[in-house]
Amino acid sequence: MPSGLEAQGSKHYNPDMPERNSIFLYSGELKKYPFPPDHPFNTSRAPKTYDLIKSMGWLSGEHTLEVEPVSAERSSLEKFHTSRYLNALEKASEGKWNDVFLTMGIGTSDCPAFRGMYAHSALATGATLTGANWILAGKADAVFNPHGGFHHAFPERAAGFCYINDSALGCMALADAGKRVLYLDVDVHNGDGVAFAFRNRSDVMTISFHENPHILFPGTGFENEIGEGPGKGYCVNVPLPVGTYDQAYFTAFKQVALPLMKSFQPDVIVMELGADALAGDPLAHLELTNNVYADILVRVLAFDRPILMVGGGGYNVDNTVRAWALAWSVLSGQDEGEEANIGLGGTLLGSTDWKGGLRDRDLVIPETQKESIMRSLETTLANVKSNVFPLHGLQP
C-alpha cells in the first residue's frame, strides 16, 4: 500500500490487488413490497443504486456478475429467529392481527405491519444468504447486497425498521461452515442484533462504529459492551461524538479496527455499509462524506479476504445511492478515481445538489469542532483499547 495511505486514505482502488470475482445481488421483486409511503425506510435505494451502476457499466466486467437471489427458506430463518415470531410476521403481513404482535415489536411506528412485509424480509435475507453461499462455494470474492443490512432484529423482536436479521444470519451461515467471520458495521446505529447473536462466540468478531448511544437509537454499543463468556473481547463498540467527520472517523477505524482485524485473522469479512452516518442524513448527526467509506473499503480489501457487503441505513436517498455506487466501484475494482466520473453522480441521480460525481465534496469542519471531537474521541478510543486489546495480546 502507498505510504501516504496511513495518514490520508486513498482515492483509488489498489491497482496491485489481484482481480476479484464480484457479485451484485439484485431483485426487482422487492419493488412489490415497499414500506408505507410515510416511513423513513425508502426501498427505492437499491433499485436506484442498481440503475446507476448499470448505467456506468459496472455490472458488465469480465469478473463481475449480476445475480438474482431467492427468498430464504423458513428453516434458514429459524437459525436465529423463533418459529413463534416468524409465524407472527407472516400473519401480520397477511393482514391478520393479534395484539400480542406488539410485544414482538410488530405494528409499531418503527416496524409497521404492512402487506408483503414477510416476503420483503425473506427475500432480502435470501439475498444475503445467496451471497454467503457464493463465497463458501469459492465462486465470489466480493459480494454486495444493497437490499440487506437489517441488523436491529432480534430472535423474537422487530426493531429499528428491521424484521429479519439478514446480517446475523449471513454471519451465522459463514461461521457454521467453519469460517472465522469479522463483522464490520459502519451504519450510524449500533449493530445490536448482530452483537447479541454472537455475544458469547469467539468465531465471529463484531466491530461497530456508531453515534453516541446516549443520543441515538438503539441506546446500546458502549465501550464496555465487549461480549461474554467465550465471546468476551469479540464484541467491539466504538461510540462516536456528534459531528464526527472523515478524518476523526478514519482515525478511529485505523486505531481500533485494523489492529483487531490483523489479530483476529478472519477468513471472511461481512460489512454493513449503512449510509446514515453521512452528513445530511435526517435521522443522525455525524458529518461524514462517502469518501471515508471508500477509504475504509480500500483498507479492508488489503486483507485479501472475501467480503460480503450489505446495505443498512441511509435516509437521504440520493446520498445513499451515490455512496453505495461508489462503494461498489471500489469493492469490484472498478473505481477510477474522482476525475473519471465528474458530473455523473448529480446528473444520473437527477439531483441538483452536487455535480461533482459519486464522491462527495469535502466538508469544511471548524477547528473548534475538530478539537472538541478529537478530545472526546481520544477518551473513547483509550477505553475501547483498554477493554479489548489485552484480550487479544495487543497493547492498549
pLDDT digits (tens, 9 = 90+) for 28-47: 999 999 999 999 999 999 99
Give residue 268's domain range: 11-392
Residue 2 lies in a domain: no
Residue 3 lies in a domain: no
Per-residue pLDDT tens digits for 65-90: 999 999 999 999 999 999 999 999 99
Measured between its terminal Cα atoms, the distance across the chain in Å is 25
Residue 115 lies in a domain: yes
Identify the band that residue 341 occupies on the pLDDT scale cut at 50, 70 and 90: very low
Residue 82 lies in a domain: yes
Residue 16 lies in a domain: yes
Would you state the pLDDT for residue 2? 27
Question: Which of 197, 228, 252, 266 minimizes the C-alpha distance to 385?
Answer: 252
Please say whether the dihedral angle defined by the alpha carbons of residues 78, 81, 82 and 83, taken in this order, is positive or negative: negative
Would you state the pLDDT for residue 87? 98
Residue 6 lies in a domain: no
* pLDDT at 381 exceeding the cut of 80: yes
Would you state the pLDDT for residue 28? 94
Phi, psi of 153 (to 5 degrees): -70, 140
Identify the band that residue 336 occupies on the pLDDT scale cut at 50, 70 and 90: low
pTM: 0.92
List CB contacts of 128: < 8 A, sequence separation 6 or more: 25, 145, 148, 166, 167, 169, 170, 308, 310
CATH, residue 73? 3.40.800.20
* pLDDT at 117 exceeding the cut of 70: yes
Identify the band that residue 18 occupies on the pLDDT scale cut at 50, 70 and 90: low
Full 3-state SS string of the chain: CCCCHHHHCCCCCCCCCCCCCEEEECCHHHHHCCCCCCCCCCCCHHHHHHHHHHHCCCCCCCCEEEECCCCCCHHHHCCCCCHHHHHHHHHHHCCCCCHHHHHHCCCCCCCCCCCCHHHHHHHHHHHHHHHHHHHHCCCCCEEEECCCCCCCCECCECECCECCCHHHHHHHHHHHCCCCEEEEECCCCCCHHHHHHCCCCCCEEEEEEEECCCCCCCCCCCCCCCCCHHHCCCEEEEEECCCCEHHHHHHHHHHHHHHHHHHHCCCEEEEECCCCCECCCCCCCCEECHHHHHHHHHHHHCCCCCEEEECCCCCCHHHHHHHHHHHHHHHCCCCCCCHHHCCHHHHHHCCCCCCCCCCCCCCCCCHHHHHHHHHHHHHHHHHHHHHHHHHHCCCC
Residue 220 lies in a domain: yes
Catalytic residue among 81, 152, 189, 210: 152
Residue 242 lies in a domain: yes
Are the C-beta atoms of residues 269 and 306 closer than 8 Å to each other?
yes
Lateral strand order in the sheet of 64-67: 64-67, 22-25, 142-145, 307-310, 268-272, 181-185, 204-211, 235-240
Domain count, the chain: 1
Pairing of strands 307-310, 268-272: parallel
Question: Which of 234, 238, 228, 248 minimizes the C-alpha distance to 205?
Answer: 234
Would you state the pLDDT for residue 344? 45
Question: Which of 82, 274, 280 minimizes the C-alpha distance to 160?
Answer: 274
Q: Give the mean pLDDT of 180-208.
A: 98
Would you state the pLDDT for residue 357? 73
152 assigned to active site: yes
